[in-house]
Amino acid sequence: MKFGVVTFPGSNCDQDLLYTFGEILGQRVVPLWHKDHDLKGCDFILLPGGFSYGDYLRSGSIAKFSPIMTEVIKHANDGGYVFGICNGFQILCESGLLEGALLHNNSNRFICDNVYIKAISKSCIVSAKATSKESILAPIAHGEGRFYASDDVIKSLEDNDQITFKYCDRDGKITEAVNPNGSVKNIAGITNKTKNVFGMMPHPERSASNILGSKDGLAVFEGIVEKALA
């Protein structure tokens, strides 16, 4: 399997993903530029965190018009894998590949902190391997990370096992007290109905090696490699 990491103007986590997949996991991974008109034969597309186009409008709302997103959307609609982290999650929601929206944090402040998340879905490749863990330490860094969707959408996400991660405490307990941004039902990540498009606000790539202080996040990527290659 070949992985591709898209860089938009303002991306700042692209190199982290290239390193995680290439150096830590030993996978074939290549950089993709936002003006590219092809995916260079990549099977799995990664949209990194950052501040695409400066987040001057809603986060991700300009990036969805980048030339490469035409190919990313087609790839996803054809059943190909796409994973967006933080700003990448925002781009996926703006592009209509994932339901819901990422709103301003309920504190109206940018939050940069370490949080814990709990893997929920056992049928999604980004969370299935991580369900054996009580919790995963994963940094967050966002101003618009509050996941919101209508009651009907939330029910659909729950019924179809599409909620991949929720904010929790270190022991895996999910409470409003540990919800960092006011996301509905502590939701930190979701997938689409066909479970080939994934988005999450926390950064597992920033906790994928002991040199970063934790390698909890590596379970997310190991699940991708194991399940996608199975």
pLDDT digits (tens, 9 = 90+) for 123-180: 999 999 999 899 999 999 999 999 999 999 999 999 999 999 999 999 999 999 999 9
Query: Is 86 one of the catalytic residues?
Result: yes
- Identify the active-site residue in 13, 42, 86, 168: 86
Return the pLDDT at 157: 98
Instruction: Compute the average pLDDT of residues 217-221.
Output: 96
CATH superfamily of the 2-229 domain: Class I glutamine amidotransferase (GATase) domain (3.40.50.880)
Domain coordinates of the chain in residue numbers? 2-229
Q: Given the structure tokens 């967006």, which residue do they identify?
A: 84
Confidence of residue 58 (pLDDT cuts 50, 70, 90): confident
Return the pLDDT at 230: 61
Q: Which residues contact 76 (CB under 8 A, 6 or more apart)?
A: 45, 82, 97, 192, 196, 197
44 pLDDT exceeds 80? yes
Return the pLDDT at 55: 84
Chain mean pLDDT for the chain? 96
Instruction: Compute the average pLDDT of residues 27-51.
Output: 97
**Contact (Cβ atoms closer than 8 angstroms) between residue 192 and residue 211:** no
Confidence of residue 11 (pLDDT cuts 50, 70, 90): very high
- Identify the active-site residue in 34, 75, 142, 203: 203
Query: Is 222 one of the catalytic residues?
Result: no
Percentage of residues of the chain with pLDDT beyond 90: 93
pTM score: 0.96
The H-assigned helical ranges of the chain are 14-19, 67-77, 87-94, 151-159, 218-229
- Name the residue among 67, 102, 107 with its Cα closest to residue 84: 102
Identify how many contiguous H helices and E strands the chain contains and give both numbers. Answer: 5, 11
Instruction: Compute the average pLDDT of residues 217-229.
Output: 89
Instruction: Compute the average pLDDT of residues 194-199.
Output: 98
92 pLDDT exceeds 90? yes
Confidence of residue 56 (pLDDT cuts 50, 70, 90): confident
Instruction: Compute the average pLDDT of residues 10-38.
Output: 97
